[in-house]
Chain A
Amino acid sequence: NAGVMQNPRHLVRRRGQEARLRCSPMKGHSHVYWYRQLPEEGLKFMVYLQKENIIDESGMPKERFSAEFPKEGPSILRIQQVVRGDSAAYFCASSPTLQSSYNEQFFGPGTRLTVL
């Protein structure tokens, strides 16, 4: 059983370029979550998606960031016109169903974005 897959594992971009991060959830999982870990900080929630729907994007920066989870294919986190402050580790997680009080999310290995 393959776990949550993320690619690329490492991504280097220059300021102003676009970054696309991909996440394939575990088989049978229809819920995807993105988290960001800035240096020396804990993971912070960004967005929660189900197939073709954004459920909660309260943790996403208002500009330059977008996320999608199409009917077919992986979830994509897209960062336009990257700046140095976007350098971080981006983690994706998936779950089979929304559970209250106990929320086991299965995490991928993360994508480490470096903006030069």
Chain B
Amino acid sequence: GDSVTQMEGPVTLSEEAFLTINCTYTATGYPSLFWYVQYPGEGLQLLLKATKADDKGSNKGFEATYRKETTSFHLEKGSVQVSDSAVYFCALSGPDDYKLSFGAGTTVTVRA
């Protein structure tokens, strides 16, 4: 079945550092790929998405590119802020499928 593997945390960074969270997937066909973020005490929010190969999703300074050849969707941000401290989840859904499959989540802490 479909699955997502993402980089284990926790990750601790200083402000303005570069952030990368690796995500790879296994799926049949051409899934849609997502990054969700969960801030403390809140629900998961969609951060960005990509629906086909070579698409780049971007939002709030974060980017991720759908790489079919490496089955990856790594999340990057060039300069993190303390407010980026959260848990980040990589997820996928199959074509015409409402079920989301999630990675285990990566906890990111940014120190001032």
**Interface on A for B, CB 8 Å cutoff?**
3-4, 6, 31, 33, 35, 37, 40-45, 48, 56, 59, 91, 93, 95, 98, 100-110
Q: B36 within 8 Å of A by Cβ?
A: yes
Q: B7 within 8 Å of A by Cβ?
A: no
**Interface on B for A, CB 8 Å cutoff?**
4, 32, 36, 38, 41-46, 49, 51, 89, 91, 93, 95-105
A57 CB, nearest partner CB in chain B, Å: 12
CA distance A44 to B104 in the complex (A): 10
Given known A107-B43, A109-B42, contact A45–B32 (CB-CB < 8 A): no
Query: What are 19 inter-chain pairs, A to B, with CB distance below 8 A?
Result: A3-B43, A4-B43, A6-B43, A31-B98, A35-B100, A41-B104, A42-B101, A44-B102, A45-B100, A56-B99, A91-B44, A95-B98, A100-B96, A100-B97, A101-B51, A102-B49, A104-B46, A107-B45, A110-B43
